[in-house]
Amino acid sequence: MTAAATAAPPSFARALAAELGTRRRRVRLDDVWRAFLTVAPEYATSPDRRQALAACLEELETLGLAELPRSAGALDRSERPALPRRVFDSRTEAHVGRSGVRAPV
């Protein structure tokens, strides 16, 4: 199966960012799942839901709306693909990214 076949539509990334809000710097995976299934309820019973969420999170990072941890201990590897246990919201003022530069709000 190709990545394009399992990727969430691009509109889901921005909708997910809006659903997550900007109140918290770190968002736990269970809260990310809740928000994702709110904006993409058709994935609730889909066997591709984990791949769709992973693609959506990667897009959030590409758009500069989130930062995903890369260390092995920060990932939930109970299924494939691995998902971050927490997502860092790059839109919050208190967040400083890997580069050490404060992310724009």
Residue that has been written with the tokens 């260390």 in this structure: 71
pLDDT at 71 over 80: yes
**Coarse DSSP helix, strand, coil percentages of the chain, rounded to the nearest 5 percent:** 45, 15, 45
Tens digit of each residue's pLDDT (9 = 90 or more) over 22-60: 656 788 899 999 999 999 999 999 999 999 999 999 998
Specify the pLDDT at position 6: 54
Question: Does the pLDDT value for residue 100 go beyond 90?
Answer: no
Q: What are the sequence ranges of the domains in the chain?
A: 3-89
Given a cut of 70, whether residue 76 has pLDDT beyond it is: yes
Q: 3-89 has which CATH code?
A: 1.10.10
Helices (H) and strands (E) in the chain, counts: 4, 5
- Residue 70 pLDDT: 82
Q: Which pLDDT value is given to residue 104? A: 41
Q: Distance between CA atoms of 8 and 53, rounded to whole angstroms?
A: 7
What pTM, to 2 d.p., does this model score? 0.73
More confident residue, 3 or 57: 57
Strand ranges inside 18-64, DSSP E: 26-28
What mean pLDDT is reported for the chain? 78
